Amino acid sequence: MAEDGDLTVSTGSEYPRDCSEVRDYLMKFSSRFSTMKSGVYLIQPDDALEPFRVYCNNSIDGGVGLLIKPHADMRESGSESGFVCGSESGSVCGSIIQRRVDGSVDFFRKWYDYKHGFGFLNGEFWLGNDKISLLTNQKKYEIRIDMNNQHDVPYFAKYDRFRISDESSKYRLVELGQYLPESTCTDSFAIHRNMSFTTTDNDNDKHGTGNCALSQGSAWWYNRCDECDLNSRYFFRTGDFVDACIEWTGLPGGNCNLKFTEMKVRPL
């Protein structure tokens, strides 16, 4: 049932599986919509026990979500979640799974929080590994990662596949596809292929003597430990040494130079 102005799109008992299907349904079956309007919708990915609320909005790159304009904040418990999707004519909707913008949300959290999600959709959030797994296992998805440095210079990395497993195999990054040539930064995500997710209380990394989540102040698909980590501590480089920060190795200006990150997936 729709609440607080939500828009419900369903065929009988079935809900769209993602925002792309919301858009497709509106374009096909509703004469009121020449294009899909931004708003809150219910979706239900394959194998999800119940539908949940998402926010679909205009975006860049042919529909990979960029802007976050939520209907409501996610609660700290992770009981609400949202997507931001492109809906322009001819585009393919994308879904935001992570965003950092100002350091207002603490990402140094344990397994439970990363499982269910946390943060605020009008600022910083992690969607939740359960939902990311449900979403990315129902179709083939690509991922685009946008980053801005502290001088607002933009970079992005794009891979033609992205999929994580479920909790039984530690949300492993089972599919990270080809690094696409239109990307404007280094291929620093590659070392994390096939890695399981690690938090401070669930160590699954390849480091022989420690937990990368503890040393990085974060949670991620660590190897030994990382060449990129978008969930680490939020601050800029102020001296010659910083022990951990939001990182994408190889960017101009050093690793601790990022003020904005956003990870988004869209169906192929």
- Split into its structural domains, the chain has a count of 1
Query: Which of 9, 5, 81, 90 lies closest to 42 in space, CA to CA?
Result: 9
Q: Identify the CATH number of the domain in which residue 122 sits.
A: 3.90.215.10
- Give the dihedral of Cα atoms 140, 141, 142, 144; nearest 10 deg: 180
Specify the pTM.
0.81
Q: Where are the alpha helices (DSSP H) in 53-193?
A: 111-116, 129-136
Q: Is residue 247 part of a domain?
A: no
pLDDT at 226: 87
Per-residue pLDDT at 174 exceeds 90: yes
Does 122 fall in a domain?
A: yes
Q: Within a domain: residue 203?
A: no
The answer to whether residue 38 sits within a structural domain is yes
Q: Rounded to an integer, what is the distance from CA 78 to the centroid of its chain?
A: 14
Q: Which long-range contacts (CB under 8 A, 24 or more apart) does 253-258 make?
A: 253/149, 253/150, 253/151, 257/149, 257/150, 258/100, 258/147, 258/148, 258/149, 258/150, 258/230
CA angle 11, 94, 129 (to 5 degrees): 90
CA gap 258, 103 in Å, rounded = 11
More confident residue, 208 or 102: 102
Omega before 225 within 30 of 0, i.e. cis: yes
Element (H, E) at 172: none
Q: Are 24 and 46 in contact (CB under 8 A)?
A: no
pLDDT of residue 151 exceeding 70, the answer is yes
What's the mean pLDDT in 74-83? 35
- Residue 113's domain comprises 19-195+258-267
Specify if 231 maps to a domain. no
In angstroms and rounded to an integer, the radius of gyration of the C-alpha atoms of the chain is 18
User: What average pLDDT does the segment 213-219 reach?
Assistant: 93
pLDDT over 80 at 111, yes or no: yes
Instruction: Report, as an integer, the average pLDDT of 106-126.
Output: 90
Query: Is the model's pLDDT at 159 over the cut of 70?
Result: yes
- Identify whether 12 is part of a domain: no
Closest CA to 134 of 107, 97, 101, 100: 97
Residue 4: which region, alpha, beta or left (left: phi > 0; alpha: psi -120 to 50)? left
Provide the 10 A C-beta neighbour count for residue 181.
6
Question: Residue 179: its pLDDT value, please?
Answer: 97
At 252, is the pLDDT very low, low, confident or very high (cuts 50, 70, 90)?
A: confident
The answer as to whether 104 is a domain residue is yes
Report which residue type is found at 141. Y
Confidence of residue 249 (pLDDT cuts 50, 70, 90): very high
Residue 62 has what pLDDT?
43
Q: Is residue 160 part of a domain?
A: yes
How far is the CA of 226 from the CAs of 128, 148, 179, 186, 238, in angstroms? 21, 19, 17, 14, 21
Give the CA distances from residue 27 to residues 20, 64, 169, in Å, rounded to whole numbers and listed in that order. Answer: 11, 18, 38
Which one of 215-219, 253-257, 262-266 scores highest in mean pLDDT?
215-219
Q: What is the pLDDT of residues 11-47, one digit of tens each?
A: 555 888 887 787 777 777 665 555 566 556 777 889 8
